[in-house]
Amino acid sequence: MIDLHALEAALDRARPLVLGHGGDIEITDITREGVVHVALSGACRACPNLAMTFVGPVRSYLMAVPGVSEVRCEQVKAGPRALSRLANLLHAHPYPVA
């Protein structure tokens, strides 16, 4: 079970980073399995750096919340190999290759 207050607090850590670049972030869905779906808006929507923003701060902060099993963002089109590589380079929360 995800602590929604903790989840919101985690999101509040990431939000200033994207607000500072003209974007924003919201949680669009939380599944019973603990998968959190997020959507980025504003300037983030078509930003070439979207994958890095997602796999770096956004996913890492949210994955640290107890009960969160995965974080997904449909706007991120990069493949798992690329996201895994990014996560390694950023020392972010590890991203599964498959």
Partner 1 sequence: MKDGMFVFDAAVHCQDFSDGQIKDGSDGRRVRILREQLTGFINLTGRRGPPPEPETFSDPDLDWGVDMLFGKADTDMACACSVPLFSHWRAGLGPVELSHALAQKDPARIVLTGGVDPVYHGLGPALKEMERQVHELGAVSFKFYQYQSRGCAWRADDRDIAYPLWEKAMKLGIKMVQFHKGFPLELGPVEAFKPNDLQYAAADFPELNFGIHHLGDPYVDETISIASRFENVYLILPLWFNQYYLQPYKMLQRLGEALLYVGSDRICYGSEAFIWPHVQTYIDTLANLVMPDELQDKYGYPEITREMKENILGKAFARGMGIDLEAKKRELGLV
Positions touching partner 1 (CB under 8 A) are 45-46, 48, 51, 77-82, 85-86
Q: Smallest distance, Å, CB 82 to partner 1?
A: 3
**Rounded to the nearest 5 degrees, what angle is found at the Cα of 28, between the Cα atoms of 52 and 65?**
65
Q: Smallest distance, Å, CB 79 to partner 1?
A: 4
Q: Smallest distance, Å, CB 14 to partner 1?
A: 21
Quote the CA–CA distance of 93 and 80 in Å, as a whole number: 13
**Cβ atoms 38, 72 nearer than 8 A:** yes
Choose between 2 and 90: whose C-beta lies nearer to partner 1: 90
Q: Smallest distance, Å, CB 51 to partner 1?
A: 7
Tokens for 41? 């808006």
Choose between 21 and 45: whose C-beta lies nearer to partner 1: 45
Choose between 6 and 84: whose C-beta lies nearer to partner 1: 84
In Å, what is the CA distance from 89 to each residue of 15, 52, 63? 22, 10, 17
